[in-house]
Each structure stands twice: as structure tokens, then as C-alpha cells.
Amino acid sequence: MAGKPKLYYFNGRGRMESIRWLLAAAGVEFEEEFLETREQYEKLLQDGALLFQQVPMVEIDGMKMVQTRAILSYVAGKYNLYGKDLKERAMIDMYVEGTRDLMDVIRVHHKLSPKEKEKNLALIEEKATTRYLPVYEKVLDDHGQDFLVGNQLTWADIQLIEAILMAEEKVSTILSRFPLLQVFKARISNIPTIKKFLQPGSQRKPPPDEKLVVTANRVFNRK
């Protein structure tokens, strides 16, 4: 029997958080090794574990996988969260890339100066409410199902709920004009594996802060 997947990253969200979400939604238990020192990172490099000298890295099924997108695709395929055919996978990929674009705008927020944060909050709200959320609202309306693709939970749904919750942390009223997404959020959040991941004490990480930046700078030897 294969062991649990093991995740190598910082004790924070970053690019590993979507992987945590996907594994948790699939009901897969996983272990984590948090990078806190330069020595840990150098050992991974010396062991040849980091193909492109980057994390996230996930040990799964005898592989040391890197590159976030590759890891997510593998996990989605392995645990039946990647649609039933090539067309569904294409739709899932499109929706996932859309949420990724929105999440990238949110992800940099904690690194900005107070003045820049004010501008970025306005940018998050504008992009979310005029470019991204209207798309998913329309998809749910046109599709007429509980999920974005097909009639079962996929990677696209999981990453959308992650993105919605990230956006709500910055702008609490972000869904006020999107009734179908409000229902979607409540429904997906109540799926047992996801509900468990959203509870205090789970492996879900809090919003990033200055401490995470300091740790990353130390590990990567940034000035």
C-alpha cells in the first residue's frame, strides 16, 4: 500500500495551497514538511528532489513531482476530479486558469506597501466582479447543474471555491451581485471533505503575512 503524499513547502498558502485543497477535497490524507531553513532547501537540491530548483514539491506514487500545474493535474486525474473525457478536461482547464489569474492578483497582496494594498484591493474587486465572477455565474446558469462541468465535483469547482474564499477575505461583499455563486459557495462548502478542510485545526493555511515572507527570504537566501 502506497504511503500518504508528502508535501514540501513553507507553512503557508503560496502555490501549495491549491494542492492541499485538491487532496483534501478528494479525501486524501497527506503529510507536510515545512521549509524553515536554508539547509532544508539545500538538502532537497543535493538529493535531486527539485527538478527546477523550486517548490512546491510533492512525493506521491513513488515520484517527486514539481511544478504546481503538473501536480494539480495528476491529483485531479488520479482522484476522478478531471472530467470524463477530453472536452470536459478542456473546460476544467479553462475555468481553472481563470481562477488562477484572479488568485494571482490576490496572492501578492501581503507583499505590498500600505498605499499599494489600497490600490490592489480596488483591483481585486474590479477584476473579480467585472472579469471573473460574471463568467462563473453565467456558466452555472447556462449549465443548469450544481457543478461547473458535467454533473459531479471537479477540480474546477474546488479551485473556484478556494478563489471565492480568498477574494472574500479581501472584499467581504464580493459575491453580493452573484446569487448563483452564493448558492454554489454554500453547496460546495458543505461537501463533507471540504467542510472538514474548512474547520479550524485542518491543514488549510491562514492568509499569508510578513512572517511567511521572512521565512521564504531566509530559505532562498534573498536579501
CATH number assigned to the domain comprising residue 144: 1.20.1050.10
Q: Sorting pLDDT into bands at 50, 70 and 90, what band is 223? A: low
Question: Is residue 217 pLDDT above 90, yes or no?
Answer: no
Phi and psi at residue 57, in whole multiples of 5°?
-135, 135
Q: What angle do CA 11, 13, 14 make, to 5 degrees?
A: 110
Q: Residue 2's pLDDT is what?
A: 65
Residues 91, 169, single domain; the answer is: yes
Supply the range of the domain harboring residue 44: 6-79+198-209
Co-location of 170 and 140 in the same domain: yes
pLDDT-based confidence at residue 208 (cuts at 50, 70, 90) = confident
Same domain, 93 and 74: no
Task: Compute CA distances 196 → 16, 184, 189, 190, whole Å.
Answer: 18, 17, 9, 9
53 and 100 co-located in one domain:
no
181 and 203 fall within a common domain: no
Domain assignment present for 116: yes
Q: pTM of the entire structure?
A: 0.94
Q: How many domains does the chain have?
A: 2
Worst-scoring range by mean pLDDT, 59-68, 104-113, 192-201? 104-113
Return the pLDDT at 20: 98
Q: Residue 1: what pLDDT?
A: 47
In the predicted model, what is the mean pLDDT of the chain?
94
Give the residue-averaged pLDDT of 206-218.
87
The mean pLDDT value for 88-111 works out to 93
Is 214 inside a domain boundary?
no
**How does residue 127 score in pLDDT terms, banded at 50, 70 and 90?**
very high
